[in-house]
Amino acid sequence: MKTKVVELLLGGQYISGQEISNKLGISRTAVWKHINSLKEDGYNIDSQFGKGYKLLQVNKYLTPEKVKIGLKCKVFAQKIIYYREVESTNDEIKRLAEKGYHEGTLVIAEKQTMGKGRLGRSWISPPTGLWFSILLRPPIPPRDAPKLSLLAAAALQETLCKEFHIQTKIKWPNDLLVNGKKICGILTEMKGEMDRVSYVVMGVGINVNQEVNDFSGELLNTGTSLRIIKGKEIDRVVLLRKYLETLEGFYLDYLENGFDRTREACVKNSHTLGNTITIFSGDQKFTGKAVNLGMDGALILNIENKEVSFYGGEISTKKD
């Protein structure tokens, strides 16, 4: 209902409490409560006796009612849980999954205090980025779960290209790079039995509006943001909406038709294929030419004229 109130206010004129109440079929008291709650969320709303309410400025946050405006998703983000600050959106989704929440539930946080990266690393998550996780309950065996990381990367690659004219490359298994620097990390976690996934947490972190001096230490040379690339601030709400729509498209297509669309996108936009790379898998390392992406999502290396498939690990790329 809050989304609908915001939609009416977006008209830009004063609108009376009575008119909102008539249009939405709710009481004047309910309207008043929604307006107050929006003010608490940081919306600047002018109230004038006899005239009603006028939206002076929308808030700068990723609040659910804003994300939902015009969102064309059927499964994703029907339920959104929003935090100004949380330890990790992935951990929140896990808690909700255990409570039986539905597929598509979305947790968004302005800031994470204990953001998690792959391989036990931490993920720095200041309020300028986009940090969220989605609950998935795909009817697939656990061995197929890693495909969902590639799917998330492929969907973001397409969103950034089509909607923001930003060309990115997918570094297997799940990073998105611009000019060799990382703008997105994906952490998919899974709970399942031998033959069936119980749930998957798809966690996505996008560096959106950080400035150059927000990257320090190791990230100085390895990380970048959409703002740095475009030279202007990016609307995180628009980005999130567009991404959710594309991601849902990829996901539903995967469930219906299999991995082809994701695989093709990953091959076409690969940062990895064609290069000689070293892959660190457990405490071993292997070097070879990355020659293909398997139908199962594996990275195929040619090592001394033999094709070897890898299902996970960390790679370093030496451009040929």
Interacting residues with ligand BTN (CB under 6 A) = 88-90, 112, 115-118, 121, 123, 125, 131-133, 175, 185-187, 203-205
Nearer residue to ligand BTN within complex by CB, 53 or 243: 243
What is the CB neighbour count within 10 angstroms for residue 36?
A: 12
Of 168, 173, 232, the C-alpha closest to 206 is 168
Shortest Cβ distance from residue 63 to ligand BTN (Å)?
Answer: 17
* Long-range pairs of 208-214 with CB within 8 A, sequence gap ≥ 24: 208/128, 208/129, 208/130, 208/234, 208/236, 208/239, 209/128, 209/129, 209/233, 209/234, 209/236, 210/126, 210/128, 210/129, 211/128, 214/126, 214/128
Nearer residue to ligand BTN within complex by CB, 206 or 277: 206
Nearer residue to ligand BTN within complex by CB, 15 or 96: 96
Shortest Cβ distance from residue 170 to ligand BTN (Å)?
Answer: 12
Which residues are registered as beta bridge partners of 189?
A: 201
Residue written as tokens 């004038």? 48
Q: Indicate the residue whose CB is closest to ligand BTN.
A: 185
Nearer residue to ligand BTN within complex by CB, 52 or 129: 129
Shortest Cβ distance from residue 60 to ligand BTN (Å)?
Answer: 19
Strands 276-281 and 314-318: antiparallel
Residue written as tokens 């919306």? 43
Shortest Cβ distance from residue 75 to ligand BTN (Å)?
Answer: 19
DSSP states along 147-186: HHHHHHHHHHHHHHHHHH----EEETTTEEEETTEEEEEE
Nearer residue to ligand BTN within complex by CB, 123 or 215: 123
Residue pair 62/237 in contact by the 8 Å Cβ criterion: yes
DSSP three-state, residue 277: strand
Shortest Cβ distance from residue 271 to ligand BTN (Å)?
Answer: 14
Of 89, 197, 211, 179, the C-alpha closest to 141 is 197
Nearer residue to ligand BTN within complex by CB, 66 or 94: 94
Contacts with 4 (C-beta within 8 Å, 6 or more apart), sequence order: 24
Shortest Cβ distance from residue 32 to ligand BTN (Å)?
Answer: 35
Shortest Cβ distance from residue 167 to ligand BTN (Å)?
Answer: 20
Shortest Cβ distance from residue 14 to ligand BTN (Å)?
Answer: 39
Amino acid at 196: R
